[in-house]
């Protein structure tokens, strides 16, 4: 029965994020970019639903159903502009498709293979909050392009938010003695986000930071 609750909770939550973003956009409370970033940040919290309901390794095949289904749905939306609140005008940016691919890979890898889902949580939260807020604040307050379409304030925001996210997760799971890892991860996350072309950072940031976290824990 908990699998049914998990699936219902997952689709209801993601539907709520898309619906809220669409409503705010239609009322001109937020612009197109704000609408996309609200979904970007909000949907990352879906990972907590997976953490709550994943009780047995055998559940993994049910746990990956939502991200797998949204890979398909988001690709259809990319091709047809089905969900306007999360699509950019024009083609060539598959960021909305890469996003659920990252969720799918990290759930499969960290829940099942290395059996430490908090490693995946770190990558997803940095993708959601770090990359999302960096884009919003960088676009609003960034005065100078420092390369790759990024502003200094955007890169600094990425570092600060990534550090806060990593510190909270690492402090909770490993203890404050491992907070130094958060600094390394924040630096790596900022560098990856700066160097990666738009859209692809939805793959490189979560997977890269989760991989670095895993490797640092092995030390």
Domain borders along the chain are 2-218
Residue 32 has pLDDT above 90, yes or no: no
- DSSP bridge pairs for 145: 151
Residue 26 has pLDDT above 80, yes or no: yes
Q: Dump pLDDT digits (tens) for 166-201.
A: 999 999 998 888 889 999 999 999 999 999 987 799
Residue 89 has pLDDT above 60, yes or no: no
Instruction: Please count the CA atoms within 13 angstroms of the CA of 138 that sit on its side-chain side.
Output: 29
CA distance 157 to 137: 7
CA distance 190 to 201: 11
The predicted model gives 74-89 an average pLDDT of 79
- DSSP bridge pairs for 134: none
Q: How many Cβ atoms from other residues are within 10 Å of residue 65's Cβ?
A: 15
Q: Which residues contact 37 (CB under 8 A, 6 or more apart)?
A: 132, 133, 135, 136
Burial (CB count within 10 angstroms: exposed 0-12, middle 13-18, buried 19+), residue 172: exposed
Instruction: Tell me what pLDDT residue 92 has.
Output: 58
Nearest alpha carbon to residue 89 among 14, 32, 17, 12: 32
CA distance 12 to 48: 14
Instruction: Tell me what pLDDT residue 143 has.
Output: 77
Burial (CB count within 10 angstroms: exposed 0-12, middle 13-18, buried 19+), residue 28: exposed
Number of helical (H) and strand (E) elements in the chain, helices listed first: 11, 0
Least confident of 55-69, 85-99, 102-116, 148-162: 85-99
């Amino acid at each position: 029965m908990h699998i049914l609750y998990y699936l219902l909770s997952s689709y209801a939550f993601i539907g709520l994020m898309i619906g809220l973003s669409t409503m705010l956009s239609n009322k001109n409370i937020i612009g197109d970019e704000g609408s996309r970033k609200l979904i970007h940040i909000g949907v990352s919290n879906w990972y907590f639903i997976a953490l709550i309901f994943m009780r047995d390794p055998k559940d993994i095949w049910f746990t990956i159903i939502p991200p797998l289904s949204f890979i398909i749905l988001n690709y259809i939306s990319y091709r047809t502009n089905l969900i306007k609140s999360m699509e950019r005008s024009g083609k060539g940016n598959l960021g909305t498709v890469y996003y659920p691919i990252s969720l799918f890979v990290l759930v499969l890898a960290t829940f099942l293979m290395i059996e430490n889902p908090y490693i995946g949580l770190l990558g997803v939260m940095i993708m959601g909050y770090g990359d999302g807020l960096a884009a919003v604040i960088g676009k609003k307050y960034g005065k100078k392009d420092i390369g790759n379409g990024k502003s200094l304030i955007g890169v600094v925001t990425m570092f600060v938010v990534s550090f806060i996210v990593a510190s909270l997760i690492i402090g909770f799971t490993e203890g404050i003695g491992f907070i130094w890892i958060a600094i390394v991860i924040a630096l790596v996350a900022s560098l990856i986000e700066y160097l990666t072309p738009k859209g692809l950072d939805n793959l490189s940031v979560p997977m890269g930071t989760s991989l670095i976290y895993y490797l640092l824990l092995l030390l």
